[in-house]
Amino acid sequence: MDIYRARWVIPVETPPIEHGFLVVDGGRISAVGAADRITSAEFNSAVIHDLGEVLLLPGFVNAHAHFELTCYRDQLSPGPLWSWLEQLIALRRGADASQRERSAVHSAAAESLAAGVTTVGDISRTGFAATILKDSPLRKVCFIELISGASQPPHDAASLKAVFDEATADAETDRLLIGISPHAPYTVTREDLSRTVTLAQATRAPLTMHLLETREEAKWLATGGGKLADFLKRYVLPNATAQFDRDIAGILEKTGILACRPLLAHVNYATDEQLDRLARSEASVVWCPRAHRFFGHANHRWREMLAWKINVCIGTDSAASTPSLSILDELRHVYQQTPDARRADLILEMGTIRGAIGLGLDQIIGSLHPGKRADFVTVPLEANGPTEPVPNLLNAQTSVTKVWIDGAPVA
C-alpha cells in the first residue's frame, strides 16, 4: 500500500481536497481524502510519499488521436482540411511511409506519457498500431479504420473483420482494447456501415467515427454535391455514385451506429435538429480544439452540446495538425478562450472523466475514485497563479512532472 500526499488532490467527480491524499493498493485506488486521516490505523503499514506543492489529479484522456501521423509533424500547412488531406495522401504514398509511420507510433506514445496522457483512443488506418502499442504502459483503445474501396485493407466490412480478429487475438494486455472506426459517412458505404455495426455489437467493441467535420461534408450530406462529391470521384470511392438518404442522423439510427454508444469525432457543423437527435442517444462527441483552429473551422458548439446533455470530451487529433499531443495543452487553450473560473472544472472533466465515458472506460479510469485503476499525474502549483486549484492548473505554464498507471510510475 502506498499513500501519496499533495497540496491539492483533484478527484474530478468530487471537489478538490487541500492537503489531500490518495491511497493505492494493488494498482487500484483504495481511498481518497484529507491528509489528517492518514493517522488512521488502517494505513499503518503504508509507505507515505509526500509530493509537496503539487496538484495530483487523474491521468489525462486523449479520446481522439492518430499516432501514426506523428511523422508528418510540421510538413503540412494550416488551412482547409481538403488541401491538407490531399497533401497527406501524397506523403502516405511515399516509399518509406510505412516504416516512418511505425516509428511514429512509438514516439507518439512516449510524447503522450510525458505530457500526462495515461489513456488514448488511437485510430490506425490498417490496424498495425495495436501491435506496436501492446507493450506501451499507456492504456489504449486502438481503433481500426475502415474506408470502403481503399487501396489497402480494411477496404470493406469483411477485411475489417479479418484485421479486427487478428488484432483482438494478439491483445494480451488488459490495457489494450481493439475498437472499430468506420471513417466517415462519405468514405464508408451504407452496407459496410451496417455490417460494421453488426461486428461492433457482436464483439462489444468500442466504435468511433468522424462526423460533420467540414462544411463540405455537411453540404454533401444535404445535397450530394459540392467539393466533397468531386473529391470522392477523383479518388474513385464507392460513395461517389451512391444514392442514399441524406438525413445523417437517420443514417446513423438506421444502420445502428447510434445504438453502439459511438464516439463521434469533431461534429463541427451540426444543426440543432442533428444535435437533438444525438442528445436522444448515448453518443459522445470528441472535439480537438487546436486542430479545429489549424483547419480554420467555425466556432465549435461544445457549450450548446453540453447544454443538450451530450457528453463532450477532448482529443488532440494528429501531430500533423496540432502543436503537441498534450491534453493539458488542449485544455489550457480552451480555458484561454473561456477564462471563466466557473467553467474550469467542466473543462477539466472534458480531458478526464468525459474522455473515459467516450471510450467506454469510465468505470475504471477518468477520476480518482476508490475501486478505479490508479492512473494519476502531478503538476506543480503555479506560485503566482489563481488560488483555486483547477483554475491554477489551467492558467499556468507548468508541465506534468510525474505519471503513474496502475499505481506504477511510468514517466
Q: How far apart are CA 78 and CA 321, in angstroms?
A: 7
Tell me what pLDDT residue 46 has.
86
Q: Residue 152, SS3?
A: coil
Residues 14-27: what's their mean pLDDT?
A: 96
Summarised one tens digit per residue, pLDDT across range 71-92 is 999 999 999 999 999 999 999 9
Report the range of poorest mean pLDDT among 27-41, 119-133, 134-148, 239-253. Answer: 239-253
pLDDT of residue 252: 86
What are the C-alpha distances in Å from 154 to residues 88, 114, 159, 241, 301? 19, 32, 5, 20, 32
Mean pLDDT value across the chain: 93
Q: Which fold has domain 60-358?
A: TIM Barrel (3.20.20)
Look up residue 156 and give its three cell numbers: 470493406
Which CATH superfamily, name and number, covers 2-58+366-409?
A: Urease, subunit C, domain 1 (2.30.40.10)
Distance CA 127, CA 181 (A): 10
The domain limits of the chain are: 2-58+366-409, 60-358
Chain segment 174-222, per-residue pLDDT in tens: 899 999 999 999 999 989 999 999 999 999 999 999 999 999 999 888 8
Whether 318 and 70 have beta carbons less than 8 Å apart is answered as yes
In tens, the pLDDT along 350-376 reads 999 999 999 999 999 999 999 999 999
Percent of the chain having pLDDT more than 70?
A: 97
C-alpha closest to that of 62 among 5, 120, 133, 102: 120
pLDDT at residue 346 in the model: 96
Given a cut of 90, is residue 338 above it in pLDDT? Answer: no
As a whole number of angstroms, the distance between CA 284 and CA 313 comes to: 8
- Would you put residue 256 in left (φ > 0), alpha (ψ -120 to 50) or beta? left
| Residue 134 main-chain phi, psi, to 5 deg | -55, -40
pLDDT: is 97 or 316 the higher one? 316
Mean pLDDT over 149-178 rounds to 93
User: Given a cut of 70, is residue 157 above it in pLDDT?
Assistant: yes
Phi and psi at 119, nearest 5°, equal -140, 140
Helices and strands per DSSP (H, E), number in the chain: 15, 16
Distance from C-alpha of 173 to C-alpha of 180, rounded to nearest angstrom: 18
Give exposure, 97-115, as e/b (b: 16+ Cβ within 10 Å): eeebbeebbbebbebbbbb
Q: What is the pLDDT of residues 140-151, one digit of tens each?
A: 999 999 999 998
In angstroms, the CA 112 to CA 324 distance is 9
Helical H segments across 326-385, by residue range: 327-337, 341-350, 353-358
- What integer is the mean pLDDT of 25-47? 84
The pTM is what?
0.96
pLDDT on residue 239: 86
Confidence of residue 8 (pLDDT cuts 50, 70, 90): very high
**Can you tell me the mean pLDDT for 272-291?**
95
Task: Mention every residue, 6+ apart, whose C-beta is less than 8 A from residue 164.
Answer: 127, 144, 178, 180, 199, 203, 205
Residue 254 CA to residue 233 CA, distance in Å, equals 26
pLDDT at residue 341, as a whole number: 63
> Which position has the grid cell 499556468?
396
